[in-house]
Amino acid sequence: MSYTSQVTNQYKEETKHRRIRYTIQENLAEHFEIANEFKEWRSNQSSARIITFNNLFHGDYQMCLFDIRNAEIREDWGQRNALLDIGRSKKILGLAKNFDPMMFEPISVDYIIDEGVFIIRDGGGRAHAAIMNGVFMVPASVRRINSFEQSRQLFLDQDKYAQSIGQYDKFLQALADPKHPQHNISCDIFAISKSAKFCLHHSMKSTETPLIEGLGILKKTISNYGGDSKNSWGSRAAPNLVRAVDILKEVFPNNDEIPVSVLTAVTAFIFAVHRRLPSGRDGDKRLVKFFQRLINSRAELKDMKKWVSVLNFDSSNNYGPYGCAAFMREWNKAFKGANRGRKPKGFYKYVTFEDYEIELAIKRPSELARDESLYS
Helices then strands, counting H and E runs in the chain, come out as 15, 6
Give the pLDDT band of residue 17 (cuts 50, 70, 90): confident
Give the pLDDT band of residue 164 (cuts 50, 70, 90): low
Strands 137-145 and 107-112: parallel
Residues 6+ apart with CB under 8 A from 334: 290, 293, 294, 297
User: Does some domain include residue 274?
Assistant: yes
Q: Are 306 and 265 in contact (CB under 8 A)?
A: no
Residue 152 confidence (pLDDT) above 80? no
Q: Are 72 and 111 in contact (CB under 8 A)?
A: no
Q: Is the domain of 276 the same as that of 325?
A: yes
Output the pLDDT for position 65. Answer: 93
Output the pLDDT for position 165. Answer: 62
Output the pLDDT for position 250. Answer: 96
User: Does some domain include residue 34?
Assistant: yes
Output the pLDDT for position 159. Answer: 56
Instruction: At 304, give phi and psi (nearest 5°).
Output: -60, -30
Of 3 and 326, the one with more pLDDT: 326
Q: Is the domain of 214 the same as that of 146?
A: no
User: Does some domain include residue 172?
Assistant: no
Residues 6+ apart with CB under 8 A from 215: 167, 168, 170, 171, 189, 200
Range from 170-174, 222-226, 288-292, 363-367 carrying the lowest mean pLDDT: 170-174
Q: Residue 134 — left, alpha, or beta (φ > 0 → left; ψ -120 to 50 → alpha)?
A: left
Domain ends where: 125, 160, 195? 160
Q: Is the domain of 211 the same as that of 315?
A: yes
Q: Is the domain of 35 the same as that of 142?
A: yes
- Cβ atoms < 10 Å from Cβ of 321: 22
Output the pLDDT for position 376. Answer: 63
> What would the DSSP string read from start to end of 18-39?
S--EE-HHHHHHHTHHHHHHHH
Q: Is the domain of 114 the same as that of 215?
A: no
Range from 63-72, 109-118, 156-165, 263-272 carrying the lowest mean pLDDT: 156-165
Of 209 and 50, the one with more pLDDT: 209
Of 269 and 341, the one with more pLDDT: 269
Task: State the residue range of the domain holding 285.
Answer: 183-374
- Could you give the angle at which helices 215-225 and 260-273 cross, rounded to 10 degrees? 0
Q: Could you tell me what percent of the chain has a pLDDT over 70?
A: 97
Instruction: At 298, give phi and psi (nearest 5°).
Output: -145, 140
User: Does some domain include residue 173?
Assistant: no
Residues 6+ apart with CB under 8 A from 36: none
Q: Could you tell me what percent of the chain has a pLDDT over 90?
A: 65
Q: Where are the alpha helices (DSSP H) in 252-374?
A: 260-273, 280-297, 307-310, 319-334, 355-363
User: Does some domain include residue 297?
Assistant: yes
Q: Is the domain of 92 the same as that of 206?
A: no
The total of structural domains in the chain comes to 2
State the Cα torsion 133-134-136-140 to the nearest 10°: -10
Instruction: Report d(CA 107, CA 225) in Å as an integer.
Output: 43
Q: Is the domain of 67 the same as that of 197?
A: no
User: Does some domain include residue 167?
Assistant: no
User: Does some domain include residue 146?
Assistant: yes
Q: Is the domain of 96 the same as that of 189?
A: no
What would the mean pLDDT of 348-359 be, rounded to a whole number? Answer: 95
Q: Is the domain of 63 the same as that of 192?
A: no
Residue 344 confidence (pLDDT) above 90? no
Q: Is the domain of 201 the same as that of 151?
A: no
Q: Is the domain of 18 the same as that of 141?
A: yes
Output the pLDDT for position 76. Answer: 83
Give the pLDDT band of residue 235 (cuts 50, 70, 90): very high
Output the pLDDT for position 215. Answer: 94
- Cβ atoms < 10 Å from Cβ of 156: 16
- Tell me the whole-structure pTM to 2 decimals: 0.80
Domain ends where: 127, 160, 193? 160
Residue 288 confidence (pLDDT) above 90? yes
User: Does some domain include residue 168?
Assistant: no
Q: Is the domain of 156 the same as that of 190?
A: no
Q: pLDDT tens for residues 34-81?
A: 999 999 999 998 877 778 888 888 888 888 899 999 999 988 877 778
Output the pLDDT for position 163. Answer: 46
